[in-house]
Amino acid sequence: MPHDQQRTRIQRKNRQAILEAALDVFSQYGFRGATLDQIAQSAGLSKPNLLYYFPTKEAIHSALLSGLLGHWTAPLRSMNPDGDPVEEILTYVRRKLEMSREYPRESRLFANEVLQGAPHIGEMIQTEMKTLVDEKAAVIADWADQGRIPPLHPYHLIFSIWAMTQHYADFDTQVRATLGGADQDPFPEAETYLTTLFTRLLNP
């Protein structure tokens, strides 16, 4: 049973390759649309060998999602209650946008999952995720109460940051197609735009 912990060198390498391949495939086709053959081929393994490392398709998916959740929520987690409100929020926006540029597959993986009603991570959202958001929303509410930022609904403020930043990863195809010059990188302009938007929104 290699599933308890990553012991050997080979196990580490292959589990890593599988998760990498699975990220590719799941993020592009969703859970039901992805196939084990695709993942196995992309990882350079045979299908039975793949199933030697993970017992089921769901196990791969779960391992991916739970392993990524911490990384994905890091920018929000590092928002500092003692910092300058506008600066903290702007930094959060920029770091979140940077995540969309650097890790678009991760963004699409979560998007696919949530789109389908979050059947595999619904629990995680209701616990870990909600706890984090509750905490940070309280911080934002405090800032608003102190008059340091305008009185905006803290949860919807967070939602709008998620929406706008993840949009550039999840809907990359549409963004690029709409902007025309397909080779053009939309992210620099996006950062400028979002900085302007939140600066105007948060300063009195």
Q: Which stretch binds a copy of itself (CB under 8 A): 2-10, 65-73, 141-149, 192-200?
A: 192-200
Helix-strand-coil split of the chain, %, nearest 5 = 75, 0, 25
CB 169: neighbour CB atoms within 10 A?
Answer: 23
Q: Residue 198 in contact with residue 133, Cβ under 8 Å?
A: no
Does the footprint of DNA cover residue 11 (CB under 7 A)?
yes
- Tokens for 180? 């025309």
In contact, 67 and 22? CB cutoff 8 Å: no
The DSSP code for 132 is H
Q: Return the range that interacts with a copy of itself (CB under 8 A); candidates 56-64, 78-86, 88-96, 115-123.
A: 115-123
Give contact residues for DNA (rule: CB under 7 A). Answer: 2, 7-11, 14, 34-38, 45-49, 51-52, 55-58
Give contact residues for a copy of itself (rule: CB under 8 A). Answer: 28-33, 108, 111-112, 114-118, 122, 125-126, 129-130, 133-134, 150, 152-153, 155-157, 159-160, 162-164, 166-168, 170-171, 173-175, 177-180, 186, 189-190, 192-194, 196-197, 200-201
